[in-house]
Amino acid sequence: MAEMDTSSGGGHKKGPGVKKGKKLSTRVDLTPMVDLGFLLITFFIFTTTMSQPTAMKLFLPKDTEKPEDQNKVKASGALTLILAKDNTIFYYEGELLPDGSNFKSTGFKEVRDLIINKKRTTAPDDFVVVIKPTPDATYKNTVDILDEMTINEVKRYALVDIFDVELQLAAKSLQ
């Protein structure tokens, strides 16, 4: 009559001789897919570079020929660090005495306390660290000491060429 025929399959019942279609399972074995997934993960983990290299900024002072343009450093507030070979550091506070008696040696582990001490005992405006790497110092030493400036928040520091006197003193002390 007015009813819609909604039953599927032509609307007639299957006869006893008609075979029933076997119901197939929709489940798929996902094990190989998981295997593949993890294989790719391992690949990407190994090839990825997680830690991005960082950049350390360094500002160089302008070389000035005229002495009146140069920044004057108050000798008493200066700490001179000389980077010698085999990770040794020589240092002196203020000006180097003619007899070299205030020329002392230290290492990279102890230098932090030295800088902190000097920083605490001098007026902030006078405090300046002068870094003088010798030709035997490595790039790592240089970066480490510049890093130490950042760590201890030394506002004023300079990378300066070494004098011969200091070089000789360092060589003598190393023997």
Question: What residues make contact with another protein under the rule CB under 8 A?
Answer: 29-31, 33-34, 37-38, 40-41, 44-45, 47-49, 51-63, 83, 112, 116, 119, 133-144, 146-147, 150-153, 159, 161
| Least distance (Å) between residue 3 CB and another protein | 41
Name the one residue in this structure whose structure tokens are 């102890």. 110
H or E element in which residue 80 lies: strand 78-83
* CB closer to another protein, 37 vs 172: 37
The one-letter amino acid at 12: H
b/e sequence 128-149, b meaning 16+ C-beta within 10 Å: bbbbbbbeebeeebeebbbebb
Closest contact distance (angstroms) between CB of 132 and another protein is: 10
| Comparison of 42 and 102: residue with beta carbon closer to another protein | 42
Q: What is the distance between the alpha carbons of residues 126 and 104, in angstroms, rounded to a whole number?
A: 21
Q: Which amino acid is at 86?
A: D
Q: Which is nearer to another protein, 100 or 136 (CB)?
A: 136
Do 126 and 94 meet the contact criterion of CB atoms below 8 Å apart? no
Cβ-based nearer residue to another protein, 97 or 143: 143
Q: What's the min distance (Å) between Cβ of 81 and another protein? A: 13
